[in-house]
Chain A
Amino acid sequence: MGWVITMQIRLAGFGGQGVILAGVILGDAAAIEGLNVIQTQDYGSQSRGGHSIADLIISKDPIYDLIVTKADVLLALAQLGYDSTKESLREGGLLIVDTELVQPDREFTGAPFTRIAEEEVGLALTVNMVALGYLVAKTNIVKKESVEEAIRRRVPKGTEEINLKAFRIGYEEGTK
């Protein structure tokens, strides 16, 4: 995907998958590159299991909307997240899904992110970083290095390396 002036990205899953952290890291990476970025989220009031959505608008121009109005990119890590957000993806937009957890009813790309996190990274919890790596490789919205810096800043102390590993594996997957 080429860079346009403004890109609207929506990440959707269920609570506990780290969707919002992935959104914060992507936003931080955009900020590191000096791009305008606004990141918001929507989640249920329960701490696990409800829907969880992170919105990002990344732009070279000032941003006036606070939420994604028409997504250029939708990443869905769970069927619940996909069902509640699929209408927001614009026609011709890029749909990325966890291919083992989401059955989309339109054109898509993706990989079994959760299984990759379990088997290749060795920690299912890193599914958000695997998927983020894939998304960054597919969209080129920000540089790989900026995301790596943001990961170092934002993940809990002591988990930097495993998160970076997950991000790189996902990124590799996305370049295939």
Chain B
Amino acid sequence: MIIRGDEPEQIELLKKMYPKGNYFMQGDEAIAYGALFAGCRFYAGYPITPASEIAETMARELPKLKGYYIQMEDEIGSIAAVVGASWTGFKSMTATSGPGFSLMQENLGYAIFTETPLVLVDIQRSGPSTGQATKGAQGDFFQARWGTHGDHPIIAISPTSVEDSFWETIRAFSLSEKFRIPVLVLADGIIGHTREQIKIPDPEEVEIVYRKLPTSDEEAKYPFGDVHGDLIPPMPLFGHDYFTHVTGSTHKENGLRDVYTPEVHDRLVRRLHKKIELHKTEIQKWEEYYIEDAEILLVSWGVSARPSLGAVMEGRKKGIKVGLFIPKTVHPFPGERIKELSKNVQLIIVSEMNLGQVILEVQRFVRDEVPVIGVNKIGGVPLTVEEILKEIESSAERSRHRSAD
């Protein structure tokens, strides 16, 4: 039996198990509860610091909601099981970190090519390799985009706090189901292990999205075809009356392999890209603070967005016209909006826990029109309000000097 998450029985279970109210929990736990409220009833995973609490929470809670948890032999098996479960109709998730995320790349590509909805959580930790296993980082921005080989689209979301992790995980499921694509949740070891208050809502307050299913034999014949003109094919489920072929090799609209005809490959890969491009405004999401009169634009994401906002507010108190842009959907990157904002600012500062990743995307969009500088920190300790403020202040000072010259 498929569970979508919005059945009256499931709503009652959620209400009984996790009554509406204030909770004090870790980001990892908030991601797990977000998944449960979104209707996720299948999890396969392999524990790894700092993502293990997600597996722990799912292992404990899923059976209470008639869901399934499988402890796998490794990360390769974990995402493979999640792909399989998704084709049977379950909203499915796995979570990992660092080396585990690297191991999942091949099957992530398989999921992208077979248009399999799933949520993959990467609790970014300090790398490369085993790195600082217990420490957070933001070094997987480009791995999220290009970690698996070949031309492919991807959606990645990055939450900024514990409560945000709950809601953004729900959004990850909605986008994944709606657009038949794996969605990455790029959190990090700091948010994952930070505890703070979160408001758990009534399950009715959560919008449940479920994938489009074929409504006739005719529709079910084209599990990879644009049957509705929205580039999103309806997804026939295993064990539900239709004959369906799913392969990671290039396939025709009917799912059967054709790895020789150039047009077939061209048509399929272009449709996958166009599908995301067409629905981009629905997929992209960002936050803006004090943008209207900003002369300095701070861009930050994930865990670094929070001290960045603190720094912007301190800067404002000192009379510096500084604003903040936070991409919440980091892929596809909202570069057009940053380009628009850049027209009114003198300088862009990008703060992140790596040696410069999002800054490259920003530069790609604003070109040489505006100087872009980075505030970068690695080593596992999050950026502080003071560190970011210092950069804002010295930048403001420099531009004052320039205008005086």
A binding-site residues for B, Cβ under 8 Å? 24, 27-28, 31, 36-45, 63-67, 69
Contacts and interface: CB of A to CB of B under 8 A. Distances in A.
B324 to A, nearest CB: 11
B310 A37 contact: no
B360 interface: no
Interface in B298-320: 303, 306-307, 309-311, 313
B17 interface: no
Contact of B382 (A28, A44, A63, A66): A66
Given A45-B49, A45-B134, A64 B306 contact: yes
Nearest to B303: A66
Contacts of B307: 64-66
B384 A69 contact: yes
B70 interface: no
Given A36-B197, A37-B196, A64-B306, A31 B22 contact: yes
Contacts of B22: 31
Nearest to B388: A64
A64 B385 contact: yes
A27 B193 CA distance: 13
B200 to A, nearest CB: 13
A36 B381 CA distance: 21
A65 B384 contact: yes
B386 A66 contact: no
Nearest to B304: A66
11 contacts: A24-B24, A24-B195, A28-B24, A31-B197, A38-B195, A38-B196, A39-B196, A45-B134, A65-B310, A66-B307, A66-B382
Given A64-B310, A67-B381, A43 B195 contact: no
Nearest to A35: B197
Contacts of A64: 306-307, 309-311, 313, 385
Contacts of B133: 45
B40 interface: no
Given A45-B49, A45-B133, A67 B384 contact: yes
Nearest to B310: A64
B143 interface: no
A44 B49 CA distance: 12
A64 B311 CA distance: 8
B71 interface: no
B190 interface: yes
Contact of A38 (B134, B194, B309, B313): B194
B354 to A, nearest CB: 16
Contacts of A40: 190, 193-195
Contacts of B24: 24, 27-28, 31, 37
Contacts of A27: 24, 195-196
Majority-rule SS of A interface residues: mixed
A62 B307 CA distance: 11
Interface string B184-216: 000000100111110000000000000000000
B13 to A, nearest CB: 22
Contacts of A42: 134
Contacts of B194: 38-40, 66
A41 B384 contact: no
Nearest to B194: A40
Given A28-B24, A45-B133, A66-B306, A37 B197 contact: yes
Given A64-B311, A65-B310, 6 more contacts: A31-B196, A37-B24, A45-B134, A64-B306, A65-B384, A66-B194
Contacts of A69: 384-386
Interface string B366-396: 0000000000000001101110000000000
A13 B354 CA distance: 29
Nearest to A150: B24
Nearest to B22: A31
A26 B190 CA distance: 19
B393 to A, nearest CB: 16
B28 to A, nearest CB: 13
Nearest to B132: A45
A78 B328 CA distance: 41
Nearest to A154: B24
A23 B195 CA distance: 10
Nearest to B134: A45
Nearest to A66: B382
Contacts of B303: 66
B195 A39 contact: yes
Nearest to B313: A64
Contacts of B381: 67
A88 to B, nearest CB: 12
A28 B195 CA distance: 9
Nearest to A64: B310
A84 to B, nearest CB: 13
Interface in B227-280: none
B283 to A, nearest CB: 28
A69 B307 CA distance: 12
| Most A-side CB within 10 Å, residue of B303, B307, B309, B381 | B307
Contacts of B313: 64
Nearest to B311: A64
A53 to B, nearest CB: 12
> Which 4 A-B residue pairings sit nearest by Cβ, starting from the closest?
A64-B310, A31-B24, A39-B195, A66-B382
